[in-house]
Amino acid sequence: MTEHSPAAALTRAEHAAGMAAYQREGLRLEQEIGNRGPLRFAADGRLHPDILAAYWRHGFYVFESVIDAAEIDELRRDIDTMLDCAPVDRDAKIDAKGRPAHGLDYARNPYTFVKPLTDPWGGTDLLNGRHPSPMSQPEPDAGAPEDVVFLIYGMCQAMPAGLRLYGHPRLLAVAATINGEDFVPYNDAIFVKQPGLGGSVAWHQDGVTHWDSPDWDDGIHGFNFQVQLYPTTPGNGLWIVPDTHKAGRIDIKRRIADNAGSEQLPGAIPLICQAGDVTLVNRQMLHGSFANTSPDPRVSITFGFHRRSSVLGAKAALGVVNEGVVYDEQRIHDRAAVIAVAIDARRQTHPEEKSFLYQPFVGQEDDFRFNKQTFETVIRNYNVKDLAI
């Protein structure tokens, strides 16, 4: 991964101060739109129609207090373990305590590093070039480390609580409402934005493959959940430009050029959350995040879902293993099996919950119980089979 050079040297404090007025305006717009509240369902078990209409209108929703405090604590402990066992830098084989780093035996490296406060993708051709304009890259404070963890992959393999979260019945019911009962998974990634160190994500739209499809509509590229383990703020959180999921492929470079070259795009809002809130964001939404020059940490567990019809027969994209492979029924089944195993993993620790009934695996539940065998055959290195479009 190659990071570009910053266009202008700002200190961390100068960057934070320069964001203040923009953040106030974003908060005003966010409060004006709303699109937040408890996760509610209709009598038929589908997402409440008022919430569904609000999601399709603006392309996002913030579900408040979905994940309880006990589960948040479990997820935080697993994240802390992942960070404690991470390589000391991007090229290291040992962690900060001199032990063999976690994930050395994984088919896909579970850690991505960046230099503090940098933008790893903006202005590059990485990830299909979908981040065309770089963000500002302020200088971190003296004594900052050379590298910081930016992304963690493979939560279903590396984090027991992460696998259980993947089988959360209420979140899977949202996926079934939006993408159909035969919905399929996308991928998962955990964003780690340490205070005063976390990198940025340049403005982009997630989808890359279906913009010119004759079947294009405002949901063809699916959506992402983000489960927030700590409060998110205008300084550390995700920013979106509401309604842009309906705009087709956006000329992001032109939009920034028309804004006098500033990445502080007008009309954008921050997604403000408490720990345990879950955001739902359409993958066609124009969105990004700024360097975390704030004093607040952010850890966002991100995982998405697609319509089966969007994935079947599509070519892999976004740098997944074997990019260019065509997704057939077997590939979809193998990756979707993670959902079936996750549902059972959650059932074993949350017997008081009604488990989600995942239609593609109805009648196969006994074959996909969570145990040592399915961990090896379904969960281990599952993310080399991600379904990215």
Query: What average pLDDT score do residues 11-19 get?
Result: 97
Q: Give the chain's mean pLDDT.
A: 95
Cα–Cα distance measured from residue 282 to residue 268, given in angstroms and rounded to the nearest whole number? 15
DSSP 165: H
Q: What is the pLDDT of residues 101-110, one digit of tens each?
A: 999 999 999 9
Q: Is the pLDDT of residue 3 over 70?
A: no
Q: What is the pLDDT of residue 323?
A: 66
Q: What is the pLDDT of residues 24-44, one digit of tens each?
A: 999 999 999 999 999 999 999
169 in Cβ contact with 342 (< 8 Å)? no
Cα–Cα distance measured from residue 21 to residue 86, given in angstroms and rounded to the nearest whole number? 37
Query: What average pLDDT score do residues 317-332 get?
Result: 84
Cα–Cα distance measured from residue 222 to residue 35, given in angstroms and rounded to the nearest whole number? 19
Under the banding of pLDDT at 50, 70 and 90, the label for residue 5 is very low
Under the banding of pLDDT at 50, 70 and 90, the label for residue 119 is very high
Task: Walk me through the domains of the chain, giving residue ranges and CATH numbers.
Answer: 12-312 (2.60.120.620)
Q: What is the DSSP string of 236-268?
A: TS-EEETTGGGS-S--HHHHHHTTTT-S--TT-
Q: Is the pLDDT of residue 294 over 80?
A: yes
Q: What is the pLDDT of residue 321?
A: 65
CA distances from 157 to 21, 109, 281 (A): 42, 12, 25
Query: What average pLDDT score do residues 245-252 get?
Result: 97
Q: What is the pLDDT of residue 352?
A: 95
Q: What is the pLDDT of residues 201-217, one digit of tens each?
A: 999 999 999 999 999 99
Q: How many residues does the chain have?
A: 389
pTM of the prediction? 0.95
